Chain A
C-alpha cells in the first residue's frame, strides 16, 4: 500500500464519516476508508483504536459486540445523534478550510 499520510487532526473526522455510512468494526472502518480513498489514505492501523475509544467517551459513537462477516466476535461502532451533529460541523469547517487553502495556494499574484 502506498499513498498519502493523513493530515494531523483529521483522523476523527474520517472515522465519523466512515461510521456514518453504517455500523462497522475497527478493521471495517479502515477498509471502508481505503475503498473510499481508492487506497490513497494511509492510516496506521493501531492508531485507529485510541481514536475510537476517545470518540466513544465523548459520546459521538457507541459500540456493540456483534459478529463479523467471517463469524468472529467483533465490536461494531455506530454514529450517535451527537456524532451526526459533530460530523456536519466538522465537514462545514473542513470545507471552509479547503476553500481557504485553495484560494491561497492557487492564487497567481496578489492584487495590488
Chain B
C-alpha cells in the first residue's frame, strides 16, 4: 500500500516536472493534491478488511499488557490449565501410541490375526506349518501373511544375559519394510532349514547386547549357545508390532532348531492383511475350509480379528479405556470450572473499566473481544507450559508406571509428545481456555451502565448472582474430585487386597529359579545345599497365570477343569497341605493317577469320598485317558489375586525336565531375596544361566495394572482436589474482599471474631459438603455397575467411602481458613471508612 501510493506520488511529480515545475515543488504539489496519506491508508486497510486484524493485534497487545500487570492471576491461571493440560498431553500420547496410531506399515487398516476355535476354546497360537498352510489355503482373501512369537533367550558373552526376541517368518519384514540403520533385515529365505542362522537387532538391542558397536554387522552372537550372525540393525523408530520392543528378531525355522534342543514346542500368532475389498467373513470362511481340509482332529473353525494398533482392541479393554477417558475429561472440566472462577473474579474487578468503555459507545462485541483474547493468551501460555512439562516428564512417567515390567529386562515401546499429540493438546487447551473465559466475558460485558459502577453482576436475568455462580463452580470441582479420589481409593484398596489373600501355600521363601533349561542334576545339587529346604517342579508356576483348562468327563458329565503337572517334591516344597489320601511319588510319573484340589473334589463329588474315583481327561488330540484320584490337597491361587483360589485343579504326576515340567521352585531358609545371588551362582557352576525371582515379587507383578491405574487415578484425583481447593480459596477470598464493609458493619453491631470466622468457614464447608454429596452419587452408581460386572472386586469399600469425604472436607476447610482469618481480623473502623 505504501509502495503503491509512493508510486502514485512519483508519477504525479514526474508529470508536474514535465509541466515545468522544479523537482522539489513538483513533489510538494503531488503530495498536496493526493491529500491526507495516512487517512487514506487507514481507509484502505478498512476497505480491504485489514481492520479486524489490526484490532486483534491491538487486543493481543492489550491482553499481554493486562496479564503482565496481574502476575498472580496469570501464574495461577496458567498453572491450573497447564498442569491439567500436561496430564492430558501424556494421556493423548499414550492413547495415540498404543490405541490410535496405525501399525507402522502400509495397509495397517486391513491387518488381522487368526483365531481358531475348538468348542468354546479360542486359540491364537498355532504351529508354524499349520499357520502358514492356513494362510496358503486362504490366499484368495489374505495376503502378506507371517507368523510371530516372542521368546526369551540367553545371549552368551563375558556376562551372559537374557534377552527378549521376536521370532518371525520372513513375511514379517516383507510387511513391515523397516527402516534399517546398519546392514539389512532378513527376507523369506533367511529362515529356511539349510540357511545360515542370522538375526537382526533392534536399536535398543544393539545398545544392550552389542554396546552400540558400529561394526556389529557380520559378528556373531551366541543365542542359547548357538552362533547367529548379525545381519542388520534396525532404525530407532522401528519398535515392532507389540508394546514390548524386542532386542532382536530371529527367523522362525532357525530359532526352532534352538527350541528342539530345549524340548519345547513352538506356536505362533499368525497375522496377515485382508486383500483390498475382502471381508473378515470371507477370510473366516476360507480359513475354516482350509482347516477342515486338514487331516486329524483339533480345531474345526477359524476366523480373523482385526488388529490395527499396538494394543489389541479387546472387549476387556473397553471399560478400562472408558473410565480413563472419563477421569481425564473430569479433570479437564475441573480446570475449566476453575478457570471460569478465576476469570469471574477478575471480571468483577474490571466492571468499572468495562462500564466506562460501554459508556463511551463501544459495542458488545468490541467489549467482548479483548476479554476472549486474554483467555486465548492464557490458553497459549498454559499450552506452552504443558508441552514443556509433559515432554520432559513423559519418559520418567512411563518408567515409573512400568517399573515392574522394565525390571524384568523388557523395553517398553517409547511414547513421546508427537506433533499430532501436541496439536490435539493445543485444541483442548484453547477450547478450555476460551470456554473458561467466555462466561465471565459475557457476564462482564452485559453491563447496565448504572449497576456496572456499583455492584457485582448477576446471571440469568438477575436470578443467579455471580457470587452464587462462582460457588456453584466450586461445588462442581469438589464433586469431580470426589469421583476421581473414590475411584483411586477403590483401585488402591483392591490392589492392597492381594496382601490379604491366602494363596494356599507359604509364599515367603519360595524362589522360581527361572533357569534357561531344566537340568535334573542341578535340582539334586540344590537340594544338597544347606540354605535350600526343598526344590519341586511344575508345568505351570502358581500365581503366574490362570491354570489352563482341559476337557474332562466325570461320571458321564463333561466339564472343563484346570490342570497342572508336578513332580513328587512340588507339594512339600510349596507347603501345600495334603487333606486326604497321599501326594504324588516319583514312581507315579507317567501313571494314571492324579491328585485334585479340595474345590475340585467338592465340585465333582459333593459330600462323597473322592479317593478311588476316576475322571477322564482329554490332554491332547489322542483319545481321552482315565485317571484315578489318589489324594486331595489344599486349594491354591494360580491366577489373578482378586480371582481368589482356583475353583478346580487336577495335578498330574510328572518328573522334572520331562513333558514341560521345567519350572523349578526352590524353598530357601531365611530371606528369599538374599538367596537369589547364591542361587544364580549355583546355576553358573553347573554351566546354566538362571534369573531367579521370588514368588512374592511375581505376585507383586500381578498388581502392576492396578498399581498403574491407582497411580493415574490418584495423580488426577490429587490434581483435581488441589484445583478445587484453590478454587474454593479464591472464591472465599473474593467473597471476603467484596464483603469487607458488610463484615465491618456486622462487627460494629457486635458480631465476634469467632462468629465471623465460623460463618465464613461454615459457608465453605457447606459448599464442599454439597459437592461431596453430588460427587458421591455417580460414585455409588459406578460402584454398583462394577460390582455387577466383576463380583470378585470389592466395589463398596466403606473405608474409601468414609475417608475421601472426610479428607475433602478437611482440605476444603483448610483452603478457606486463610481468607476466613482475614475476614475475622477486619477492623470495623477501617472497613467502614473504606468506600
Contacts and interface: CB of A to CB of B under 8 A. Distances in A.
B3 A49 contact: no
Contact of A45 (B3, B8, B43, B44): B8
A49 B5 contact: yes
A70 interface: yes
A59 B656 CA distance: 89
A75 interface: yes
B11 A45 contact: no
B49 interface: yes
A18 to B, nearest CB: 15
Contacts of B35: 44-47
B605 interface: no
Interface string A1-33: 000000000000000000000000111000000
A45 B48 contact: no
A73 interface: yes
Contact of A56 (B11, B46, B48): B48
B458 interface: no
A72 B43 contact: no
B664 to A, nearest CB: 84
Given A57-B47, A57-B49, A73-B3, A46 B34 contact: yes
Question: Which size class do A's interface residues fall under?
Answer: 20 to 34
A68 B7 contact: yes
A74 B4 contact: yes
B152 interface: no
A50 to B, nearest CB: 4
Nearest to A25: B7
A27 B46 CA distance: 21
A70 B11 contact: yes
B14 interface: yes
Interface in A60-75: 68, 70, 72-75
Mostly, the A contact residues are helix
B43 to A, nearest CB: 4
Contacts, number: 62
B406 interface: no
A47 to B, nearest CB: 7
B33 interface: yes
B47 A53 contact: yes
A54 interface: yes
Contacts of B49: 57
Contact of A53 (B11, B39, B48): B48
Contacts of A49: 1, 4-5, 40, 43-44
B369 interface: no
A45 B7 contact: no
Query: Which of the four size classes fits the interface of chain B?
Result: 20 to 34
Interface string B38-69: 01100110111100000000000000000000
A3 to B, nearest CB: 14
A46 B39 contact: yes
A17 B39 CA distance: 26
Nearest to B35: A46
Contacts of A27: 7-8, 11-12
Nearest to B50: A53
Nearest to A69: B11
A50 B46 CA distance: 8
Contacts of B4: 25-26, 49, 74-75
B237 interface: no
Nearest to B4: A75
A51 B48 CA distance: 10
Nearest to B48: A53
A46 B36 contact: yes
Q: Is the interface of B mostly helix, strand, loop or mixed?
A: helix
A26 to B, nearest CB: 5
Interface string B18-36: 0000000000000001111
Contacts of B44: 49-50, 53
B109 interface: no
A45 B33 contact: yes
Contacts of A68: 7, 11
B788 interface: no
Nearest to A56: B48
Contact of A54 (B8, B34, B47): B47
Nearest to B6: A72
Interface centre among A25, A46, A56 (most CB of B within 10 A): A46
Nearest to A29: B8
B95 interface: no
B7 A72 contact: yes
A74 B34 CA distance: 16
Which one of A25, A72, A73 has the greatest number of beta carbons of chain B within 10 Å? Answer: A72
Given A27-B12, A46-B37, A49-B40, A74 B47 contact: no
Contacts of A70: 11, 14
Contacts of B8: 25-27, 45
Contact of A50 (B7, B11, B12, B40): B40
B10 interface: yes
Given A54-B47, A57-B49, A47 B7 contact: no
A75 to B, nearest CB: 5
Given A45-B34, A45-B35, A74 B7 contact: yes
Contacts of A47: 35, 40
B170 to A, nearest CB: 60
A56 B40 CA distance: 16
Contacts of A54: 47-48
Nearest to A44: B35
Nearest to B10: A72
Which of A27, A70, A73, A74 counts the most B-chain CB atoms under 10 A from its CB?
A: A27
Given A50-B47, A53-B44, A75-B4, A45 B10 contact: no
Nearest to B37: A46
A47 B35 CA distance: 8
Nearest to A70: B14
Interface string A69-107: 010111100000000000000000000000000000000
A47 B5 CA distance: 11
Nearest to B45: A53
Contacts of A56: 48
A46 to B, nearest CB: 4
Contacts of B47: 50-51, 53-54, 57
A70 to B, nearest CB: 6
A26 B10 CA distance: 12
A63 B740 CA distance: 64
Given A54-B47, A56-B48, A57-B48, A73 B7 contact: yes
Contacts of A50: 40, 43-44, 46-47
Nearest to B39: A46
Interface string B719-753: 00000000000000000000000000000000000
A70 B18 CA distance: 13
Contacts of B34: 45-46
A70 B49 CA distance: 31
A70 B12 CA distance: 12
A25 B11 CA distance: 10
A11 B5 CA distance: 18
A72 B11 contact: yes
Contacts of B37: 46
A75 B12 CA distance: 15
A59 to B, nearest CB: 12
Lowest 8 CB-CB distances: which A-B pairs, in order? A46-B35, A50-B43, A53-B47, A46-B40, A54-B47, A53-B48, A27-B11, A45-B34
Interface of B: 1, 3-5, 7-8, 10-12, 14, 33-37, 39-40, 43-44, 46-49
24 contacts: A25-B8, A26-B8, A27-B7, A27-B8, A27-B11, A27-B12, A45-B34, A45-B35, A46-B40, A47-B40, A49-B4, A49-B5, A49-B43, A50-B40, A50-B43, A50-B47, A53-B44, A54-B48, A56-B48, A72-B11, A73-B3, A74-B7, A75-B4, A75-B7
Given A26-B8, A75-B4, 15 more contacts: A25-B7, A27-B7, A49-B44, A50-B47, A53-B43, A68-B7, A68-B11, A70-B11, A70-B14, A72-B7, A72-B10, A73-B3, A74-B7, A74-B11, A75-B7
